[in-house]
Structure 1
Amino acid sequence: MTGSRVLSPRWLAAGGAVVLAAALGVALLLQNTGSACAAPPSTSAKTGKATFYDLGDGTGNCSFPSSPADDLFVALGPDQYSAGAACGTYLDVTGPKGKVRVKVTDSCPECAAGHLDLSRTAFKKIGAEVDGIIPITYKTVTGVRTPAPISVRVKEGSSQYWLAVLIDNHGNQLRSVTVNGKATHREDYNYWVIDGGAGSGPFKIKISDVYGHSTVASGIRLTPGATQKTSVRLVGGGSSATARTTAAATPSKAKKKASPSPSPSSAAPTASSAAPALESTEVAAPTGDVEVPPAQEAVDLAAGRAHC
């Protein structure tokens, strides 16, 4: 999450007060997924402007364990961040000096649509740092071969009674994640959550994108706070293999902004081309400690969530 940005309250409309429960369910769905059934993002070129910022010790509101190794990333405003739906997708951004490909890793609550807040490294590839703000064109890229295969991180506090998983290196915008056949809902800090848990594992996690691709990671274990690396990819193929589990520290919240980027704020945990053929692969992964879970909700309002 971004430590120096503060998310302003989101406005959610749930129209129709006659059936309160139904309205509440719609509101929760919109809050957690951004839309009931998000359409694939447009890949047509758009115009806008870019600023830059320094992430400091944080890793962005998308909660990825680390920033991209090449330091090429971007924060999007609420409309384009889409309550976390854009996390892990890629944009090609063209400025006065050239083009750069960046990964969506963060939100920028104060940015209007078309305002991209780039990492300083990305900004300097397409514009002069002294300009501060530059005109750009940009578009969503699909089918990107990511730097590594899919990884799964089980959030701290997860247990057999409450589970949250973070999927990284998927490239395309995700439509759904299921754990042992159970549906999840995505929070805007990019974790996929099952409020009632999915047992003690190991887990078979099916990952599907908005273009119809899917892949399966098997043998994912209940290891809160660790990143489990697999050998499967959502696009570009993959093979069965034993995954490795690596320690992953909780992202720091510190974030330093570079003028004249948007003024600092902080985010509380609180994205085309034709699709290739469907892919489905499995992979195993390893173990760790279980932390104390938060209390379960008395009523599981997620049970009635709609799915695309």
Structure 2
Amino acid sequence: MTDASTHPPATGRPLRRSRRGRWLAAVGAALLAGALGLTLTLRAGAVPACAAPLRDGLAPPAAGVPNKGKATFYDSKGAGGNCSYPAAPADRRYVALGPSEYAAGAACGGHLDVTGPKGTVRVLVMDQCPECPPGHIDLSREAFARIADPVQGVVPVTYRAVADPPLPGPLTFRIKEGSSRWWFAVLVADHGNPLRAVEVRQGGRWRAADRQDYNYWVVPDGAGPGPYTIRVTDTRGHRVTAAGIRLAPGKVQRADVRMYGRSSATRSPAASRPSTPRPTVVSAAPTPSAVATTTGSAALAPAAASTPGCGD
């Protein structure tokens, strides 16, 4: 669905995945595997009970908890999937989860380590597989080839969510097309762990944004004209604040703060700003300034992390 140029609809956008391409690849490979006399043992795993419950019992895979299931593969054709990323990751290693583990977008941006017959690969959660039951994951063709021979089409796997994976860089923010001072939607990326909350500073208080199935965070009645100060909290308790995010729909703005790690240690706002302006390397939009506030304990498990208050 093409983004509206005016006030966007309240409903989420439809899935952008090509089911036909995926099934042609998987079914064709499976038929060939059958002709070769290959026998596969498939085990479907359930969603871990210790994962933090979200909407109607849906929850992404819990960090460190092994899940047994099966994997197929598909090709996103370069698109960023139902998580609305501008593009697939450069290494083309990504995964789509079934509705129960995609959890209405709550799994977006997290990472899985997937182990199959040939080895292990780390993948970014960026898409939903509508027909996949719990335990069935749909890998990119490139990721599947790292763990199995693609001729097999479907293989048994073990997968687990990764806690605090290495970050590719600072946080990025993308204001959705159609946003204005009266309707606000932002996509946050490069956060490592799945996100628990996104808040926007307005009038001296923090306003909670609502996560949509397509991974944008929305304030339905808007957050003013900007620039915006946005506070991001992940499922492991890490929390950072980025300031100076501009109302520039469709532009990817890179902050100067990471969700955790080298540049996100607790420090004062004055100490967190570089002495000279950094150029924006993602788009022509002005570079936002960003400050780190607090970071949660790395030992805090997703199920134990508390939801931050929005009025403090």
TM-score, normalised with respect to structure 2 = 0.68
CA–CA separation in structure 2 for the residues paired with 1:136 and 1:47? 6
- Tell me, what secondary structure is at the counterpart of 1:41? coil
1:84 CA drift (Å): 0.1
- Tell me, what secondary structure is at the counterpart of 2:62? coil
Equivalent residue for 1:293? Answer: none
Structure 1 residues 204 and 75: alpha-carbon distance in aligned structure 2, compared to 1, 3 A threshold:
same
Structure 1 residues 186 and 247: alpha-carbon distance in aligned structure 2, compared to 1, 3 A threshold:
farther
Which range moved further: 221-230 or 51-60?
Answer: 51-60
- Tell me, what secondary structure is at the counterpart of 2:83? coil
Equivalent residue for 1:138? Answer: 159
Q: Which one of the candidate residues 272, 275, 283 is aligned to 1:246?
A: 283
Listed one character per residue, the Cα deviations across residues 14-44 of structure 1 (whole Å, up to 9, x for unaligned) are xxxxxxxxxxxxxxxxxxx636997982421
Structure 1 residues 40 and 217: alpha-carbon distance in aligned structure 2, compared to 1, 3 A threshold:
farther
Residues 51, 117 of structure 1: 8 Å contact kept: yes
Equivalent residue for 2:214? Answer: 189
Listed one character per residue, the Cα deviations across residues 232-254 of structure 1 (whole Å, up to 9, x for unaligned) are 11111325355626169xxxxxx
Equivalent residue for 1:224? Answer: 249
Larger radius of gyration: 2
Structure 1 residues 224 and 111: alpha-carbon distance in aligned structure 2, compared to 1, 3 A threshold:
same
CA–CA separation in structure 2 for the residues paired with 1:214 and 1:146? 15
State percent identity of aligned pairs.
50
Structure 1 residues 153 and 306: alpha-carbon distance in aligned structure 2, compared to 1, 3 A threshold:
closer
CA–CA separation in structure 1 for the residues paired with 2:148 and 2:162? 21
CA–CA separation in structure 2 for the residues paired with 1:273 and 1:40? 17
Equivalent residue for 1:54? Answer: 75
Q: Which one of the candidate residues 194, 202, 225 is aligned to 1:173?
A: 194
Equivalent residue for 2:239? Answer: 214
Q: State the AA in 1 paired with 2:153.
A: G
CA–CA separation in structure 1 for the residues paired with 2:79 and 2:155? 25
1:2 aligns with 2:23: no
- Tell me, what secondary structure is at the counterpart of 2:242? strand
Structure 1 residues 91 and 37: alpha-carbon distance in aligned structure 2, compared to 1, 3 A threshold:
closer
1:275 CA drift (Å): 3.4
- Tell me, what secondary structure is at the counterpart of 1:246? coil
Q: Which one of the candidate residues 260, 276, 279 is aligned to 1:235?
A: 260
Map 1:256-275 to 2 at 5 A.
Answer: 274-275=299-300
Equivalent residue for 1:66? Answer: 87
Structure 1 residues 99 and 41: alpha-carbon distance in aligned structure 2, compared to 1, 3 A threshold:
same
Residues 62, 160 of structure 2: 8 Å contact kept: no
- Tell me, what secondary structure is at the counterpart of 1:112? coil
CA–CA separation in structure 1 for the residues paired with 2:144 and 2:299? 30
1:210 CA drift (Å): 1.8
Where in structure 2 are there 5+ consecutive unaligned residues?
A: 1-14, 21-53, 264-271, 286-296, 302-308
1:198 aligns with 2:235: no
Residues 211, 218 of structure 2: 8 Å contact kept: yes
CA–CA separation in structure 2 for the residues paired with 1:5 and 1:133? 16
- Tell me, what secondary structure is at the counterpart of 1:208? strand
Equivalent residue for 1:111? Answer: 132
Equivalent residue for 1:129? Answer: 150
Structure 1 residues 187 and 143: alpha-carbon distance in aligned structure 2, compared to 1, 3 A threshold:
same
Where in structure 1 are there 5+ consecutive unaligned residues?
A: 7-32, 249-271, 277-304
- Tell me, what secondary structure is at the counterpart of 1:61? helix
Map 1:30-109 to 2 at 5 A.
Answer: 34=55, 41-109=62-130
Structure 1 residues 215 and 126: alpha-carbon distance in aligned structure 2, compared to 1, 3 A threshold:
same
RMSD, matched Cα: 2.7
- Tell me, what secondary structure is at the counterpart of 2:248? coil
CA–CA separation in structure 1 for the residues paired with 2:63 and 2:120? 19
Q: State the AA in 1 paired with 2:283.
A: T
Equivalent residue for 1:27? Answer: none
Residues 61, 161 of structure 2: 8 Å contact kept: no
Residues 59, 65 of structure 1: 8 Å contact kept: yes
Count of paired positions: 230
Which range moved further: 238-247 or 115-124?
Answer: 238-247
Listed one character per residue, the Cα deviations across residues 247-280 of structure 1 (whole Å, up to 9, x for unaligned) are 69xxxxxxxxxxxxxxxxxxxxxxx97139xxxx
TM-score, normalised with respect to structure 1 = 0.69
